[in-house]
Structure 1
Amino acid sequence: MRENDGVTSASPRPWTTATSALPPRLIATDLDGTLLRDDKSVSPRTVAALAAAEEAGIEVFFVTGRPARWMDVVSAHLHGHGIAICGNGAAVVDLHGGAVNPRFLKVRELAADTALQVVRTLRQAAPDTAFAIERTGGLHHEPAYPPLSFDLGESVAPAEKLLAAGSAVAAGPVLKLLAHHPDLAPDAFLGLARTVVGERANVTRSSPTALLEISGPGVSKASTLELCCAERGISPAEVIAFGDMPNDVEMLNWAGTSYAMGNAHPDVLAAASGRTTGNNEDGVALVIERLLTARRTD
């Protein structure tokens, strides 16, 4: 049984401290349900904590399922940090040019023919599934796909047409495939999809609804973060990660130190080495503040 700050892991608690053998060099944080409050704002306390971390020499990465064009929620608070891993690891972007015109530094696409195989497999296993395709140029979706996103689709057509070779209605690399079911429970849909899709693609979810996010095989927040850290000579032991939903689990397992938000999914609570308060209570800022205070007193 793990003990943290005198509180055992079997006790209900809003806070447990994770420990690391090495000083952190990078903070990797999810956005929705983690860094952002429920109203999608970044609190002044969180903005100050992120700036203080960078001033102390700790790099900050935003790691999210959002596409680059939805990063306006943090683009006004970049300070030194401007690197974001978007689309659950499908793209690395530099946000210093603004969310309207982000610079893609790395793209890890889902092959269109693989996406088409996944569509056919899921249609058979879960009839009534509706699909959308997220490409570098925008979102394209089927007529039955619900209006879940912050922007309108670039085009509306059956997924088979949107994914056809040389499609005239959807161009650019596929970052991820989105699949929504109107009736299945979210975790049940996730389990079914992972079973029938197998290793052809990486299937996860971050929405409270039955909306799945499907990336190329081996593409995840964790694997892309690992690539970015390797380029900087940063080891997992030097990374602190924050998250709240199943698409964060691999990243939390990979990082040397990880925190589940107080509002996190049970799988995230089980994966993280520590726990902080909820996103509406500035849980990320709380950890950073304590970290920097401890460094100053060492």
Structure 2
Amino acid sequence: MQKPRLIASDIDGTLLDPFEQITVRTAAMIRRVIAADTPFVLVSGRPPRWIPPVADMAGLDGYAVCANGAIVYDIAAARVLSVHGLDALVLHDVVHALARVLPGIKVATERAEPGPDSAGAPFATEPGYRNPWGDAESNVRPRAEVLGHTATKLLVRHEKMTSEEMSLAATELLGDAVDVTFSTNRGLIEISAPGVTKARGLAEVAELVGVARDAIVAFGDMPNDIEMLRWAGHGVAMANAHAEVLAAADEVTAPNSQDGVAMVLERWF
């Protein structure tokens, strides 16, 4: 393709190396992209509150797509621009259905963060929920309360299954009533409102900055990146990516441990 007009990158397993850092080579490439007046957009399953440390490392102050496309976030203003959530009734119905076919699940919800004056905790877990990334952040509540507010993302955990096994069962059961994906294979699936994917969130950002989809290069490594890679003009999978991501991409680059993002962008910047 010709020189892209927008770069979109997943964070974990893609932009960050295995030590959760941005390497010198990749950081230099991001600076060159920005110097060329080309937006560099973070597109992640992370909530907005987990974006600033990465944005600071990368020197970014534009837009981020969070919660697998459910939120568009203005980094510089620390402001949520749009939210596509699951209401409480849907959350209860989904969990009730899943509990019948996946006994032993534990659930958590992410909620939108309108700003620093927002009331209520943005993350809630029922007793027994264990986060694959550690439990430093927890807000334990009864299941009914966890599911009692509109959420940007429902997280369903089963410590004796893989995420892939859970995703297959959930997709067969729930169909297109919701969007089911995963970003780790450690027994965790992530559920969003129907049609809410990273592709949808990135499309919102592309419209904000006036860039056509065929002028976008996107990078990713896990199934929650597939729709984005297919939607963008050029979708790039990391060599360390899930097999389904490798199959969906237009190109496979080096792994995140070897500056795969920078390697591709050096063609144009």
Per the TM superposition, whether the score is higher than 0.5 is yes
Correspondence 1:47-86 to 2 at 5 A: 47-79=27-59, 81-86=61-66
Identity percentage of aligned residues: 39
User: How far off its partner does 1:157 sit?
Assistant: 2.4
| C-alpha distance in structure 1 between counterparts of 2:100 and 2:142, whole Å | 15
The CA deviation at 1:141 is 0.4
In the alignment, which of 278, 292, 296 is matched to residue 255 of structure 2?
Answer: 278
Q: For the Cα contact (< 8 Å) 2:198–2:224, is it kept in 1?
A: yes
Give 1:41's match in structure 2, choosing from 1, 11, 21: 21
The alpha carbon displacement at 1:244 in A equals 0.2
Alignment match of 1:206 (pick from 171, 183, 186): 183
Distance 1:89 1:54 in 2: 23
Distance 1:85 1:255 in 2: 14
The equivalent position to 2:195 in structure 1, one of 215, 218, 225, is: 218
Farther off after superposition, 141-150 or 194-203: 141-150
Alpha-carbon distance in structure 2 between the residues aligned to 1:78 and 1:96: 13
**Higher Rg:** 1
Q: Secondary structure at the match of 2:127?
A: coil
- TM-score scaled to structure 2, two decimals? 0.92
Distance in 1 between the 2:170 and 2:14 partners?
A: 25
Quote the Cα distance in structure 2 between the aligned partners of 1:238 and 1:79: 23
Quote how far apart the aligned CAs of 1:47 are. 1.1
Whether the 8 Å CA contact 2:220–2:237 is kept in 1: the answer is yes
User: What aligned pairs does 1:118-157 form with structure 2 within 5 A after superposition?
Assistant: 118-136=94-112, 137-149=121-133, 151-154=136-139, 156-157=140-141
Structure 2 unaligned spans of 5+: 113-120
1:290 aligned counterpart, secondary structure: coil
SS at match of 2:19: coil
Q: Distance in 2 between matches of 1:251 and 1:110?
A: 21
Alpha-carbon distance in 1 for matches of 2:147, 2:230: 33
Matches within 5 A, 1:193-272: 193-272=170-249
Q: How many residues align?
A: 260
Residue of structure 2 in register with 1:168 after alignment:
none
The one-letter code sitting in structure 2 at the alignment partner of 1:68 is: P
Q: How does the TM-score come out when normalised to structure 1?
A: 0.83
